[in-house]
Amino acid sequence: MLILQRRTGESLVIGEEIRVSVVSIEGGRVRLAISAPPEVPILRSELLDAKLVNQDSAAEEAAPAELLGLLGSMPISPKKQEKGEPDNDE
């Protein structure tokens, strides 16, 4: 990690196409201006973290069709078959 000190109006360059400029410093807040090509995504870290958490939780959930397939492949005992119940005795 690189740590730099910049004053209002100063900037830094990342690669050849990304420039980060300090617009203002007020109290404990720093306002930055970021100039980058449109194909470079720029996200606040808390939004990226939330996006990753949502993707992880969505990946953990099984699709409804997959769940129905699992239920359909379960053997049914003759007693429960008469009642239309799945066999969960195994």
Helix (H) or strand (E) holding 33: strand 29-35
- Domain limits, the chain: 8-37
What pLDDT is stored for residue 62 in this prediction? Answer: 55
- Please count the other Cβ atoms lying within 10 Å of the Cβ belonging to residue 31: 11
Name the residue among 57, 32, 28, 35 with its Cα closest to residue 45. 32
pLDDT of residue 50: 85
pLDDT along the chain (90 residues), means of 10: 94 96 94 96 86 74 64 61 55
